[in-house]
Amino acid sequence: MALWARQASRWCCLLNASRAAGFPRRLRSCGSPAQTCHEFAPLALLPAGKDGALWRLQACRHVSVGSCSAPDSAKDGSFSSLESNLPSPVKQEQAEVETLPDLNAEILNEDWDDIPPSSALEEISEEEAVQIIAEPILPLQSTTLRDYVDHSETLAKLVHLGVDLSQVEKRQKAGQLLLTLDFEKDIRKILLFLKDVGVEDNLLGPFLTKNPYILGEDLEALETRVAYLKSKKFGKAEIAQMVSRAPYLLLFSVERLDNRLGFFKNELGLSVKKTKDLVIRFPRLLTGKLEPVKENLQVCQIELGFQRSEVQQIVYKTPKILTASKKRLRQTFDYLHNIMGIPHHMLTRFPQVFNSKLLRIRERHMFLEFLGRAQYDPAQPSYICLDQLVSLPDEVFCKEIAKASIQDFENFLKTL
């Protein structure tokens, strides 16, 4: 229905345009005013629907060819009353009837496919409605990157690479950064650089999940930082290990990296070789805050009573102790030293015990004490090494250290 109406409207627009373009006009005389009414009568009596559109077209064509034959009703005077009631100016205007030129088929069919756009309020058929394809609207603002994945080739390729966008969007301004980058222009070169450094393909996704900011870094600056590490005699495999385990490492400028290495060398009194070995095994020392490190060093020396040389041994063997919670460090030392009676030199020898959960240490010590086997002095028989106390699985601990069954250990824990 709406299509036929638009086509009829298009025909009328073409006819009006031909008038405005200055087509020749001619006057024609009709035998009576009724003949004039005959020319325009069909326009007032058009049926609805498709037939109506055809009537309109035929009426316009009828006017253009100049047919003036009066209907029978006009010939017998049925329109005489209408003629007599018309004012004289109207009669004069009707005497000069404007006629339109006959438009050939080529003109009428011109731009036939250029149908004027329909109104948003116009009713359409079900067949036309199902042909409308509405594209999803890109949100102007969103709290999740998921809304943009279908619209962004960059985000889609990062997802295929293994990047967890749900974690990336939790990092400050990381989501906005990814939306401004082009994969081919901005990201591909960074991925090739990371592979050249030594980051494995299956680690690229997790790496960028933890550090998406590296995608916005200047490639030349990144290459300069790697060149600095090589100048400090770090091998290619060592650099690859450090970058993979500490994703933020390459965000640090050469000056900051140099200051961090100098800090640990001077603060701990370590040699260059031991300092390198320390940061290779625990590279997050170079990317973390220095204040917790300074505080833990003071706790070890002032509160826990370790000598400087003992602190050096503890930190070198267990560098994670520098970033541990001070409260947990104090509680673990108190139980080991004051409850279990472990002296400082023994804790210095087995500092990995500080990385164990205090609950695990307490449960196993109490079970050994219940069995009468809690002996931690290496000079005494049935000596139990601190490393074995905390590192062995429960089954092995019960069988080799406690000399009991796992069921006995579980039953004992229920009594606590």
pTM of this structure: 0.62
Are 100 and 64 in contact, with CB atoms under 8 Å apart?
yes
Q: Is residue 405 classed as helix, strand or coil in its secondary structure? A: coil
Exposed e or buried b for every residue in 111-133, given b needs 16+ CB within 10 A?
A: eeeeeeeeeeeeeeeeeeeeeee
- 169 confidence band (pLDDT: 50, 70, 90): confident
Is the pLDDT assigned to residue 3 strictly greater than 60?
A: no
Would the pLDDT of 397 be above 50? yes
The one-letter code for the residue type at 246 is A
> What value does the mean pLDDT of the chain take?
78
If phi > 0 it is left, if psi is from -120 to 50 it is alpha, else beta; for residue 49 that is: left
pLDDT digits (tens, 9 = 90+) for 5-57: 555 555 555 555 555 444 444 434 444 444 443 443 343 334 444 444 444 44
Dump pLDDT digits (tens) for 329-345.
999 999 999 999 999 99
Q: What is the pLDDT of residue 370?
A: 95
Query: Does the structure show a pLDDT above 70 at 99?
Result: no
Report, as an integer, the average pLDDT of 322-330: 93
Distance between first and last Cα of the chain: 85
Domains of the chain: which residue ranges? Answer: 142-216, 289-349, 356-415
User: CA 28: distance to chain centroid?
Assistant: 74
pLDDT per residue as tens digits for the range 384-393? 999 999 999 9
- Chain-centre distance of CA 277, in angstroms? 38
Q: State the helix-helix crossing angle for 49-65 and 2-20, rounded to 10 degrees.
A: 20
Quick: pLDDT tens for 228-266.
999 999 999 999 999 999 999 999 999 999 999 999 999
